[in-house]
Amino acid sequence: MRNVTEFILLGLTQNPHLQKLLIPALFFTYLFTLAGNLLISLTIIVSPALDSPMYFFLSCLSIIDGSYATSIAPKMMFDLITKKNTISFNGCMTQLFAEHLFGAAEIILLTAMAYDRYVAICKPLHYTTIMSKTLCRVMAATVWILGVIHGGVQLLFILQLPFCGPNVMDHFACDLMPLLELACVDTRSLGPLITANSGSLCLLTFSMLVISYVIILRALRTYSSEGRRKALSTCASHIIVSILFFAPCLFLYLRPMTSFSADKAVSIFCTLVTPMLNPLIYTLRNAEVKNVMRKLWGPMIKISDK
């Protein structure tokens, strides 16, 4: 049974002064996220110097980050500007599906990137053979397929629930926890299902990352100090990005089914701040990417300045 045709989103805050400050903050965060991730993707696509599995996966990560932010930010800005904080039931389900599609895709891609670093460090002589272009494309396709499956499971899970009112959601976007609180049934028993689905995905992939880096660190003991430094440098960016993404994911989905006051802040960090930081983390710590960017885009910037 479904009598609800739309939901009312209360957003990040009900304070009108904070809402005015949020509009430019969200706009520039979203703009910087799109520009940074687009720049990295284009740089990797057009530069032969960055034709390697590591940069192929980095370009995929940039595409996912831009898409992930797009599933949330435009609607939030529209609501703040127009003061119309409603979303149709179908629009809510679409946002739920997109958010979990891109979130799951990023989680799985980070695991694929960890495998790439494992092969590069632990099996350097066989790296080009193992990490062939065919395997990289298959892994990228698998990332998207599993993302679609995960998003579809979340969607089907919510569509089975009756929504007969109320329809006011204390959140800035449609997600599992706030939607479950509005269902016209006792959803307390559904907590283990969410943990078994979203929570277990986060925990399983995070465990795989930890195991990968334990193996990598053990393998680095046989490296020279210079070789160890270079190897750790290539892994550092991935480790930082993984922590920034997995920590909020584990907090949101690997816990008893209840809402916390920090949920909104953690969600906004995961969906907007982390996708904005990823381009900075990878470019600022990667001399090769920075050099290629200077060669490709430096002349254009100088010309436009004139």
More confident residue, 195 or 301: 195
C-alpha span between 34 and 69 (Å, rounded): 8
pLDDT tens per residue, range 251-263: 887 766 677 778 8
Separation of CA 13 from chain center: 23
130 within domain boundaries? yes
109 within domain boundaries? yes
C-alpha span between 270 and 276 (Å, rounded): 10
Q: Is the pLDDT of residue 233 over 80?
A: no
115 within domain boundaries? yes
pLDDT tens per residue, range 160-170: 888 987 899 98
241 within domain boundaries? yes
User: How many alpha carbons lie under 13 Å from residue 281 in its C-beta half-sphere?
Assistant: 23
268 within domain boundaries? yes
* Domains held by the chain: number: 1
C-alpha span between 246 and 288 (Å, rounded): 27
1 within domain boundaries? no
CATH of the domain at 159: 1.20.1070.10
| Residue 251: predicted pLDDT | 84
Tokens 């270079």 -> residue: 230
pLDDT tens per residue, range 201-223: 788 888 888 888 888 888 888 88
- How many other C-beta atoms lie within 10 A of the C-beta of residue 144? 18
Q: Are 8 and 85 in contact (CB under 8 A)?
A: yes
Domain around 139: 6-305
State the DSSP code for 85: -
pLDDT tens per residue, range 110-169: 999 999 999 988 888 899 999 999 999 999 999 999 999 999 988 988 888 889 878 999
C-alpha span between 156 and 113 (Å, rounded): 30
Backbone angles phi, psi at 7, to 5 degrees: -120, 150
Q: Is the pLDDT of residue 264 over 70?
A: yes
C-alpha span between 303 and 120 (Å, rounded): 39
C-alpha span between 137 and 60 (Å, rounded): 10
139 within domain boundaries? yes
